[in-house]
Amino acid sequence: MEKQDYKIRLATLILEELAVRSRPVKLRFLKTYRLISFWLSPEIAQYIISKLREGGYINVDDKGRASLRVSMKVSKNLKRIIEEAEKLVKEAYLRGSISLR
């Protein structure tokens, strides 16, 4: 998987988690965000969030609560989304194939 593919897939998983939760959630409580911060780096997690904000997919208020700006239909439950995120993040970490560039 290419570097950009990891970022795109991780961004999609963040959006899916927000859709499943269906209400504003503080970033620190988003499991996918925390996995990215821990395994890859907080800078990469912030980079993905900033790209989602720039694209108009999410809002993050001054209290750090993220909410979806678009409607999404997700067929997965939260546990499955988190399992996918864990697998993807660990794979990216072991390959060392994700960076801000």
**Gap between the Cα atoms of 55 and 75, Å rounded:** 23
17's tokens: 């988690």
CB 51 within 8 A of CB 34: no
Q: What is the mean pLDDT of the chain?
A: 92
Q: Which domains does the chain have, with CATH numbers?
A: 3-95 (1.10.10)
∠ CA 98-63-54 to the nearest 5 degrees? Answer: 45
Residue 98 · residue 3 · CB < 8 Å: yes
Q: How far apart are CA 59 and CA 24, in angstroms?
A: 9
pLDDT digits (tens, 9 = 90+) for 29-57: 999 999 999 999 999 999 999 999 999 99
